[in-house]
Structure formats: structure tokens, C-alpha cells
Amino acid sequence: MRVKTLLKWLEHPLTRGLPLDDPRMTELHGLVIRSKAFLSRLYAEWYARLANWLPRVPNSPGKLLEIGSGGAGGLIKEWVPDCLTSDITPGPQIDLVCDARHLPFADGELRGIVMVDVLHHIPDVEIFLAEAERTLQEGGRVVMLEPWNTWLSRFIYRHLHHEPFEPGHDWSFIGLGGDGPLTNANTALPWIIFERDRSKFENFFPNLALMAVELDYPFSYLLSGGVSFRSLVSGRLFGPVRGLEKMLRCLMPRLAMFAVIILEKREGRP
């Protein structure tokens, strides 16, 4: 009861009292990110980090696409100006309304797909991965930042987070949460696919090579308050907090809250 009371008090004024699946929530999350100095710097680092993983192909005809852009308010364009923004619902920063399971692109039309905190919200994730495999050109990449399953994150995601966290579940999460775009999720899904069931992933999607899983951010997102709560620290402390996290890199398998995950399309893998 005390934890629930504290979380209620910490709710951000812009989103307080709104159901998570309220249509206004997506746009409000973008406003929250821009209004909080610490969180804004964290998102800036996330996007800069993902942008560095995108294929650098001068004069390439391949397009770049971000899936689930609404929650971040189209921030990707500050680092990748030619990236198309998309979401499942329309919004002021959205170039394209589409479902990640049915991408409106031809085979090999994309050279990169960007996702921030999105994969674990996609029902029938196998269909999305097949679409990524189909639409990416050879050498194209899916670059994403997702929650991860560690000793610390298990406690946080189970007790202090609104989304279901079920690491023992299968790839489908229908029935775990609500039926809306934010409550329908399994926060453990990225870990399930790329760690617990990695051999299954490799068998199902032999042309999508798992290039990297970089574990990080044990404290920074919590201290930022995320998109739902007030920031617990000043934006001026972002540098010191990130410095501490980097010093603890060897402990990330136990402490990390997130992972940067990189997939690359490689034709003709055995």
C-alpha cells in the first residue's frame, strides 16, 4: 500500500489520472520526454547510440523506418533526418500509420528499422520478425533498445512497472495485460527471444543475424522517472549517473534494465 501511495504521488502531472491506453497518452509521452532534462538527455543518448549502428551506405536507395515513433514524439529525426516515423495510430510527428506486422514496403526496400521500447508491445512478434527479414536489404539492420531480464530488473518490472513481466511465457503475450497498445505487452519478451530462446530464433530466422546485445542503464531510467513519473534527479546529474553506470559495466548481466539489440540481414545463411 505504501509503494502504491508513493507511486501515485510521483505521477507526472501531464499524464496523471489518464488510462495508459488513452489515445492522448502517446502524444503526452513525447511532451514529457522533452520537458524533463534528465529524461531528454537519456533519450538523446539512446537515439545517438542506435543511429551509430545503422548501416552507413552513401547514396543507398534503401529507406530508414522507425516503428512506434509516437511515444518519443518523433525524436529520431534529430539524429536521422531522413528516417520515416511510423506508429499504429496517427499523430503530429508521424509520417506513416502502419502495423509492424504488415509493413507497407517491398522486399528489400529498407536498409534500417529503428525501435525504442517497442518490440515487447508487438503481438505475434514472429510475424514482425518475418516482415523485417522480408523488407530489409542485404546488410540492413534492425536496431532497438528494449527492456532486459536481470536480477535487478526482475524486481523493478514485477513490482514497480505497469506492464506484465513474464519470463517463463512463450512468444505470444495475448491475455497477459490489457487489450490496448500500451498495456498489451510482455516486458520480458526481448530476453525470451534473444537469450532464452536464441536457438529457436536462429532456426526460425536464419537470415537475421544477432550482431550485438549490449546491456546497460540500470539506474538512469529509474532516476529519470520515465514517461509516467516525475524526475527524481536534476538533468545536471546525467553525466555523473552515466559515468557510474559505465564503471559498473562488468555487473550489467545482473543490474541492467535495458539492452541495445542489433540484428543484421544476411542473405543465404545456412
Q: Which pLDDT value is given to residue 18?
A: 62
Average pLDDT for residues 82-106, to the nearest whole number?
93
DSSP 8-state symbol, 95: S
The DSSP letter of residue 97 is E
Helix (H, G, I), strand (E, B) or coil at 126: helix
Q: Looking at the predicted structure, is the pLDDT value of residue 60 above 90?
A: no
Check residue 228 and give its pLDDT.
79
Query: What's the confidence (pLDDT) of residue 270?
Result: 45
CB-based burial label for 119 (10 Å; 0-12, 13-18, 19+):
buried
The strand order across the sheet containing 136-147 reads 96-97, 83-87, 63-67, 110-116, 136-147, 258-265, 208-216
Higher-confidence residue of 67 and 163: namely: 67
Q: Is the pLDDT of residue 1 over 60?
A: no
**Percent of the chain's residues with pLDDT above 90:** 67
Alpha helices in 160-265 (DSSP H): 189-191, 198-204, 220-224, 238-247, 252-255
pLDDT band at 186 (very low <50, low <70, confident <90, very high): very high
Cell of 90: 496517427
Q: What is the pLDDT of residues 110-137, one digit of tens each?
A: 999 999 999 999 989 999 999 999 999 9
On the question of pLDDT at 240 being above 90, the answer is: yes
Mean pLDDT to the nearest integer, 87-112: 93
Contact 198, 41 (CB under 8 A): no
Which domains are present in the chain?
A: 2-265 (3.40.50.150)
Tally of CB atoms within 10 A around 9: 9
> Which one of 83-92, 174-183, 197-206 scores highest in mean pLDDT?
197-206
Q: What is the distance between the alpha carbons of residues 100 and 121, in angstroms, rounded to a whole number? A: 10
Checking if the pLDDT of 85 tops 60, the result is yes
Q: Which range among 160-164, 170-174, 213-217 has the greatest average pLDDT?
A: 213-217
Q: Is the dihedral of CA 167, 173, 176, 179 positive or negative?
A: positive
Distances (CA, A) of 270 to 9, 14, 129, 202, 263: 54, 51, 18, 10, 17
Q: Stretch 94-103: mean pLDDT, rounded?
A: 95
Banded model confidence at residue 198, pLDDT cuts 50, 70, 90: very high
- Range of lowest pLDDT (112-126, 165-179, 215-229): 165-179
Greater pLDDT, 89 or 115: 115
Q: Is the pLDDT of residue 17 over 90?
A: no
If you ran DSSP here, which 8-state letter would residue 219 be given? S
pTM reported for the whole predicted model: 0.92
